[in-house]
């Protein structure tokens, strides 16, 4: 599925199953909540915090998909093509960081 297809699929899901989009502020709060759930799993599974028994069955991929879903909702609501935005962002990073990372001693 392309990013454009994902945006169309989410839009169709919202309109047929979700009834309507939550407002942008609600979706921003939801995005923050979902990112927090991803952070919790990563901190406990890959970081220094111990993983609680109740967290061991959490699906990191599913939580990341929740983040992506809400991000796509926000893009759809604000008229942003994530395909175009990502390409523009990658072009910016490519120009800005053409040699930066190769010159970073910490990465060698």
Domain assignment of residue 64, yes or no: yes
Name the band, by pLDDT with cuts 50, 70 and 90, for residue 96. very high
Domain assignment of residue 29, yes or no: yes
Domain of residue 60: give its range.
3-80
Q: How many domains does the chain have?
A: 1
Domain assignment of residue 33, yes or no: yes
Domain assignment of residue 85, yes or no: no
Compute the distance between CA of residue 46 and CA of residue 66 in angstroms, rounded to an integer: 20
The tokens of 65 are what?
């998909």
Domain assignment of residue 30, yes or no: yes
Domain assignment of residue 103, yes or no: no
Return the SS3 of 62. helix
For residue 18, what is the domain's CATH number? 1.10.287.1080
The tokens of 58 are what?
């959490």
pLDDT of residue 16 exceeding 90, the answer is yes
| Angle between the N-to-C axes of helices 60-78 and 24-45, in degrees from 0 to 180, rounded to the nearest 10 | 160
Give the model confidence (pLDDT) of 61-89 as tens digits. Answer: 999 999 999 999 999 999 999 999 999 99
| Angle between the N-to-C axes of helices 82-96 and 60-78, in degrees from 0 to 180, rounded to the nearest 10 | 100
Q: Write down the mean pLDDT value for the chain.
A: 95
pLDDT score at 88: 98
Domain assignment of residue 34, yes or no: yes
pLDDT score at 25: 98
- Residue 103 phi, psi (nearest 5): -90, -5
% residues pLDDT > 70 (the chain): 100
Name the band, by pLDDT with cuts 50, 70 and 90, for residue 54. confident
The residue to which tokens 């699929």 are assigned: 9
């Amino acid at each position: 599925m392309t990013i454009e297809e994902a945006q169309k699929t989410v839009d169709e899901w919202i309109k047929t199953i979700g009834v309507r989009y939550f407002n942008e502020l609600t979706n921003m709060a939801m995005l923050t909540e979902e990112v927090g759930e991803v952070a919790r799993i990563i901190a406990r599974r890959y970081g220094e915090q111990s993983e609680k028994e109740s967290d061991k069955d959490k699906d990191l991929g599913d939580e990341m998909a929740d983040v992506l879903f809400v991000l796509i909702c926000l893009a759809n609501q604000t008229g942003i093509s994530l395909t175009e935005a990502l390409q523009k962002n990658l072009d910016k990073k490519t120009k800005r960081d053409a040699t930066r990372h190769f010159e970073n001693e910490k990465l060698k």
